[in-house]
Amino acid sequence: MNQNTGKMIQSFLNPKGIKKLIALTLIFGLLMGSNLLVYTMGGTKLAYVHGFYIPIIISGIIFSVPGGLITAFFASLLSGPIMPFDVALEIAQPSQSWMLRSLFFFLVGGLSGIGAKIVKAYLQDLENRLITDSVTQLLNSRGLIEEWHHNFIPKQGINPSLVILRIHELSSIEAILNPDEMDQLFNDVARVLKNVAKDLGVIATLEAGTFALLLHESKKVKEIIAKCRHELGNVFTINDIPVFVNIFYGIAKIHNMKESIIAFLHRGRIAADKAIRNNFEIASFEVEDETQLLRNAKIIHDLSTAISSTELELFYQPQIKLETGRVEKLEALVRWQHPELGMISPSEFIPLAEGTLLINPFTKWLLEQTLCQLAFWLEKGLDLRLSINFSMKNFHDSTIFDLIHKTLQKYKIPAQKLEIEVTETAFSANLQQVADVLHTVREMGVLVAIDDFGTGQASLHYLLKLPIDVIKIDQVFTRNMLKNSGAEAIVRSAILLGHELNLEVVAEGVQSEVELRKLKDLKCDYGQGFYLAEPMSANLVSPWLLKRE
Ligand code: C2E
Ligand code: MG
Ligand code: MG
């Protein structure tokens, strides 16, 4: 057996080769079958001779033009002069007849080959489009998954790694560039990535501004990222506009090739998001990241049941008028006693709820519970104001204003007995929207308090623009005012500023007698903190209030 024969046999021993072998056998069988059929049915005088078109067309489709022509040649031979016109009468075919038929055989063989080629090219183009990103011409996520199955899983002994590159704050870049310029930016990034990592793995565009590098060897990850950072830089010049682009990298190592690529992509994204959150540029996926995500998912999943069950409870923390020592106000703080996860802080579950529509039923629950409780206290003759915490997301459902109004009416509570606290951090974005919301609240007669005053990094301009009744100095300043002159200056100035603007001032986080005295000296209106009273459940706070009265 010479080398060529060996190669040919080898080429037939893979799945594709086996399919070809089956097709060849089928075509051969059909040719022979047609030949036998024509002969046994009495020769070419009957239409059975058209049966030869079947193997010719099949051959053209599978083996293209050469295949169609070769089969046409054999069909011409078999149905040519050796095949009688009439077998019984032993009449031979007129030569024009078999020659003309052969011509048609060749025509059909060639045309079916050409037709099949066109259809195959069209299908290939469709498939390419399905796996390619239309802007960068890189693979898309579908293409990356296919690449993983075809070129990674079958390879032995490789140690692949995935890097997700994410352009941060795309929307602020979109505010500068038009859609064509955005495409140019993505293409520029794609070109650099191709240059850096082309031979080391596969590059894909997962969505606008998010790229994936699936590398064969995890050893090279750090080196490749360093190269990408160096080559990409932070400034891209698009149509003479220098644009600042912040790219973050998330690494997901692939330890078990049997896991799905979807899981690795998910981990890479988690790592990239972690990098963005911590402003670290590069972050690797850790198992704990997934644990936190699973916890978040569980919290969101269980929250809807918690709202309609007794797992959520409101605690109330008194705010004391420092001049008189009287409790005039209480702040409602939610608590969640989760059956499996234990006590979950509102700072953990409320931001999660805010990312979903669950914030709406939660807000309804909060209003109903707090106002029902307030009505009870007012009925008992306690002259109290109640403050509840809202984030701007609570106002996204526009029916909330109506609900506040109706619930106040339902419990016959004067609107000024309710105060809504909004944290200062909400004001850095879209001040006009915040102003519209707070004006609507104020028009109802409900009071507005700024929570965590001094921590929001917002310009104090909002004090002029927003209808505000109360500022609550954040506990970080109260806690530090005795040991840090800067914190003391902030507390002092906030009180002065509040009074100048005719606002009530509350100091949060009062934890000691000395702090309390200091706040009294500074003429702060109210104090709130563990030293004065810790948050208490409704059934503890009621007797506490009555006793104090
Ligand atoms: P916040 O509105 O600033 O509430 C004050 C937080 O400080 C409360 O934490 C309270 O328990 C705690 N605190 C009070 N006095 C002291 C003190 O002397 N020392 C210290 N270290 N802490 C003190 P909590 O209850 O864990 O609430 C955390 C945050 O969660 C709240 O901060 C508020 O922003 C949010 N939150 C609570 N309940 C709700 C709610 O019903 N809706 C919304 N949207 N947010 C809520
Ligand atoms: Mg508050
Ligand atoms: Mg606060």
Q: Which atom of ligand 1 is nearest to the CA of 423?
A: 34
Ligand index nearest the alpha carbon of residue 420: 2
Q: State the burial class of residue 311 (Cβ atoms within 10 Å of its Cβ: 0-12, 13-18, 19+).
A: middle
pLDDT (tens digit, 9 = 90+) per residue, 1-32?
566 666 666 665 677 788 889 999 999 999 99
Q: Which atom of ligand 1 is nearest to the CA of 315?
A: 25
* Residue 206 confidence (pLDDT) above 90: yes
pLDDT score recorded for residue 6: 67
Percent of the chain whose predicted confidence (pLDDT) is above 70: 97
Query: What is the rounded distance in angstroms from the CA atom of residue 452 to the CA atom of residue 424?
Result: 6
- Provide φ and ψ at 526, rounded to 5°: -130, 155
Q: Which amino acid is at 266?
A: H
DSSP label at 151? I
Q: Which atom of ligand 1 is nearest to the CA of 421?
A: 2
Dist. CA 279 → ligand 2 center (Å): 28
* Substitution candidate for ligand 1 out of 333, 343, 367 with most atoms within 8 A of CB: 333
Helix (H) or strand (E) holding 443: helix 431-443
536 lines ligand 1 (CB under 6 A): no
Q: Which of 45-54, 181-190, 452-461 has the lowest mean pLDDT?
A: 452-461
pLDDT score recorded for residue 349: 94
Reduced to 3 states (helix: H, G, I; strand: E, B; else coil), residue 539 is: helix
The structure tokens 């007794």 sit at 310
Q: Which atom of ligand 1 is nearest to the CA of 452?
A: 3
pLDDT (tens digit, 9 = 90+) per residue, 463-495?
988 999 999 999 999 999 999 999 999 999 999
529 lines ligand 1 (CB under 6 A): yes
Q: Which residues fall within 8 angstroms of residue 514, CB to CB, at 6 or more apart?
A: 482
Domains defined along the chain, listed by start: 3-131 (no CATH), 141-285 (3.30.70.270), 307-548 (3.20.20.450)
Which residues keep their CB under 5 angstroms from ion ligand 3? 451-452, 508
Reduced to 3 states (helix: H, G, I; strand: E, B; else coil), residue 116 is: helix
Query: What is the rounded distance in angstroms from the CA atom of residue 543 to the CA atom of residue 541?
Result: 6
pLDDT score recorded for residue 425: 81
* Residue 284 confidence (pLDDT) above 60: yes
pLDDT (tens digit, 9 = 90+) per residue, 500-540?
999 999 999 999 999 999 999 999 999 999 999 999 999 99
